[in-house]
């Protein structure tokens, strides 16, 4: 599973979700779900918009967090 750092990045920039959505070229719903870290999938197009908006790389926005259930079952 991935954890995103969108809320941290927006907090550092002191930008609202609405302003973020408009400036990044996202729908409010997409921006909200990203902010809440509730997205289950993301397109390359949205990834590109995020990296352009925050002027960063993928690894600056997302962190891989192993799922405890899969690790216990021996599934990677």
CATH level 2 (architecture), domain 2-72: Orthogonal Bundle (1.10)
Q: Say which residue the tokens 């599973």 belong to.
A: 1
Q: In angstroms, what is the C-alpha Rg of the chain?
A: 14
Quick one: tokens of 22?
């408009």
What is the spatial distance between Cα 15 and Cα 2, in angstroms, rounded to a whole number?
23
Q: Is the dihedral of CA 18, 34, 25, 48 positive or negative?
A: positive
Model confidence at 70, pLDDT cuts 50, 70, 90, reads low
pLDDT single digits (tens) 2-25: 899 999 999 999 999 999 999 999
Q: Is the dihedral of CA 70, 48, 37, 27 positive or negative?
A: negative
Please check the confidence at residue 71 and state whether its pLDDT lies above 60.
no
* Model confidence, pTM: 0.81
């Amino acid at each position: 599973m991935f954890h995103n750092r969108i809320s941290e990045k927006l907090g550092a920039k002191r930008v609202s979700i609405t302003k973020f959505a408009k400036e990044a070229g996202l729908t409010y719903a997409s921006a909200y779900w990203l902010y809440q870290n509730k997205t289950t999938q993301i397109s390359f197009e949205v990834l590109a918009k995020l990296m352009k908006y925050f002027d960063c790389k993928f690894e600056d926005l997302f962190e891989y967090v192993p799922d405890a259930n899969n690790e216990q079952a021996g599934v990677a």
